[in-house]
Amino acid sequence: MNALALKPGVSVPSLTAAPRDFAASIVVFLVAMPLCMGIAIASGVPPEKGLITGIIGGIVVGALAGSPLQVSGPAAGLAVIVFELVRDLGISALGPILVLAGAIQLLAGALRVGGWFRAISPAVVHGMLAGIGVLIVVGQFHVLFDQKPLPNGLSNLMAMPSRLLGLSPDGDLMATELAFAIGLLTIAGMLGWEKWRPASMKLLPGALVGVLLGTAVAFALGLPVARVDVPSNIVNAIAPPADLLGSWMNPAILIAAVAIAFIASAETLLSAAAVDKMHSGVRTDYNKELRAQGVGNLLCGFAGSLPMTGVIVRSSANVQAGAVTRASTMLHGIWILAFVAALPWILREIPMATLAAVLVVTGWRLIHVGHVTNLFRSYGVLPALIWAATLVTVVAVDLLTGVLVGIGLTLLELVPYVRRLKLKVDAAHDGEAHAIRLRGVASFFHLPRLSEILEQSPPTGAVELDVTDLEAIDHTSAEMVRDWYKRRRSAGFEVSIKGAGGRLPALTA
């Protein structure tokens, strides 16, 4: 038996891995289809734009990725910012924005700055995702009634009671009430399947079951609800940008490109780090992943489709389904292309409210209070406040402002040590034992170098991390060290941390 097939994340072909990769690709395809269309609609663009991004993310980025098991495609995390861009600049602006954003990502990967995105505070990242979750829920709530979302998150939030109370009380079921009923049926189908599905069908995604249920009922009863509109030929949806140089003279487009590149890169690389925790195979090459995402967004820009990132929901489905190589990711893109080319009439039967329901559940799950409670329990009040401030600013102002506010607040952790921010790292190897000693203050400024040193520790033999002389460590670095410690232990390698008690209990908590 090929030993490579037994280790997830290998980057070379393996005949032994082929059956597992094939099965995993089908699961990811079933998860990706409704999400690609739903995220496109939530972004204010036709659903086929999301499908094109999913195809490019699977076939092209899957082949180039630095994280072999990560799946790329349209992301809920960018839906809000894309919606605002389309509203303010028009859908034709997406092409120039994505071409420039992709070029920025390519340059960043070539300059090897991928590791720096890991230095973004977990409190900022989880606060950003929670804020995005709130915006998706309050926006897609209106689509459940076959209505368009309002211009911003606060408006959507304030309009929710009147939308719900506007339901007809006299039993005359109009299209809005019927759409809402289909949406509720979809949510019930998703959650019910995930709770009570038989073990033999655990890989069948709840989102697909909910979409099938809502679509089947609407079709069988001939309900007059809005449905997805996709072209009979996916090629017709490709819209290359007309005037790149002229568009780049617009400061709003330049700012949007930088914002998309930054947020997409951060989400991708943090998703890749999460995928690494799910398996013990090949670790992510962050700069290679960044370059692959740059190529993907360049192609999405020339196709006039949605931006892409690495996405955790589809990636986790890929790992849990038993994927071994990047072939599973590439195949899922091929299945999307084949389905859209051969069976577009099936997609046109899906109610809009059904896709909105899938996104409402997806958005709700992004609002993960467990993240902030863990930060508070492990690191105190400040990271929890950073999380809350990021969330509130994302909802009340916009995504980029929320991230910048969170990053700015992260600097407060370093105020007491501003005059002595140096970190000295000593590594020594004695026989089979390896020792790493930290002295000074470990902050997110040092995270890329510290991460690289930890990851380069020998895969065999005992490793001791001595933090006795470490004066302080911020929660960003502490989370990275704790993840490294737990991953090494779960892989069966001997590892210990000396001096972690007292001042630094969170390292091994």
Q: Tokens standing for 127? A: 């606060």
Are 91 and 151 members of one domain?
A: yes
The pLDDT assigned to 237 comes to 87
Predicted local distance difference test score (pLDDT) of residue 1: 33
Inside any domain, residue 313: yes
Give per-residue pLDDT as tens, 206-216: 889 999 999 99
Residue 467 lies inside a defined structural domain of this protein = yes
Do residue 331 and residue 290 come from a single domain?
A: yes
pLDDT mean over 172-183: 84
For residue 102, is pLDDT > 60?
yes
Residue indicated by tokens 């329990």: 377
330: in domain: yes
* First-last CA distance in the chain: 39
Half-sphere exposure of residue 390, counting CA atoms within 13 Å on the CB side? Answer: 30
Same domain, 70 and 214: yes
Question: What was the pLDDT predicted at 164?
Answer: 82
pLDDT number for residue 9: 53
Q: Residues 53, 160: one domain? A: yes
Asked if 42 and 143 sit in the same domain, the reply is yes
CATH code (residue 489): 3.30.750.24
Do 46 and 109 share a domain, yes or no?
Answer: yes
Residue whose tokens read 């030929």: 233
Percent of all residues in the chain with a pLDDT value above 90, rounded to a whole number: 39
**What does the pLDDT read at residue 12?**
47
Mean pLDDT of 119-145: 88
Higher confidence at residue 506 or residue 345? 345
Domain count, the chain: 3
- The mean predicted confidence, pLDDT, of the chain is 86
Residue ending a domain, among 297, 324, 352, is 352
CA 387 to each of CA 165, 272, 377, 476, 504: distance values in angstroms, whole numbers, following the listed order: 32, 21, 13, 13, 21
Domain's final residue, options 323, 352, 381? 352
Half-sphere exposure of 377 (CA within 13 A, CB side): 7
Query: Of 139-148, 371-380, 402-411, which gets the smallest average pLDDT?
Result: 371-380
Does the residue 122 lie in any domain? Answer: yes
Out of 46-60, 164-178, 193-207, 268-282, pick the least confident.
164-178
Looking at the structure, tell me whether residues 232 and 250 fall in a common domain: yes
Do residues 372 and 299 share a domain?
no
Residue 273's pLDDT is 78
Residue 254 and residue 127 share a domain = yes
In a domain, 3, yes or no: no
What residue numbers bound the domain in which 83 lies? 11-352
Instruction: Please report whether residue 257 resides in a domain.
Output: yes
Q: What is the mean pLDDT of residues 390-413?
A: 88
Mark whether 465 and 387 lie in a shared domain.
Answer: no
153 within a domain of the structure (yes/no): yes
**What integer pLDDT is reported at residue 15 of this predicted model?**
62
Do 331 and 391 fall within a single domain? no
Given this model, what pLDDT does residue 507 score?
55
pLDDT tens-digit series, residues 14-36:
567 788 889 889 989 988 989 89
Q: Are residues 373 and 472 in the same domain?
A: no
Single pTM value for the model: 0.81
454 vs 94, higher pLDDT: 94
Of the three residues 325, 352, 379, the one that is the final residue of a domain is: 352
